[in-house]
Amino acid sequence: MAHVAAMAEGESYRDPHAGAYRRSADPLLGYELSPGALGVVNEEGYVGPRVPEDRAPGSYRILALGDSVTVAGSNTGDSYLNAMEQALGSTPGAPPVEALNFGVGGYATRQEVRVLETRGLGYQPDLVILG
């Protein structure tokens, strides 16, 4: 609503998410996050630091799919996925935990499944969650 009020007063509105998305080569996805977007999208196009597909021996890997709820807070470290990774990783005797955030704002379940099939499974997750 702030952009409506600014435009009514003759001010220009700058979309904070401008440039966050690009057209996907996959017609089932339609669009995807642009590398570098929001200050947290890595060169592979998912949120967070890039990790190798092969996981470290003994680690536990979680892959999250979802929409803006999954992406929310990623640029400040306040996402539910960050909180889960920290809580699980700090449990005494627990293996190292890696949580990969493949959320994309506006995605529906069919797009999330497509991301899992085409990219996510290559990261060998132990657990896949849909946020």
| Contact call for residues 58 and 95 (beta carbons, < 8 A) | yes
Per-residue confidence (pLDDT) for residue 2, from 0 to 100: 46
- How far is residue 121's CA from residue 84's CA, in Å, rounded to a whole number? 20
Over range 18-47, report the average pLDDT: 91
pLDDT at 89: 86
Per-residue pLDDT reduced to its tens digit, 1-10: 444 444 455 5
H-type helices in 40-92, by residue range? Answer: 68-71, 80-89
At CA 75, angle to CA 123 and CA 130, rounded to 5?
45
Q: What is the value of pTM for the model shown?
A: 0.82
pLDDT in tens, 72-117: 877 677 788 888 988 998 889 999 999 999 999 999 999 999 999 9
**Cα–Cα distance, 11 to 111 (Å, whole number):** 36
Q: What pLDDT, on the 0 to 100 scale, is given for residue 7? A: 42
pLDDT at residue 127, as a whole number: 96
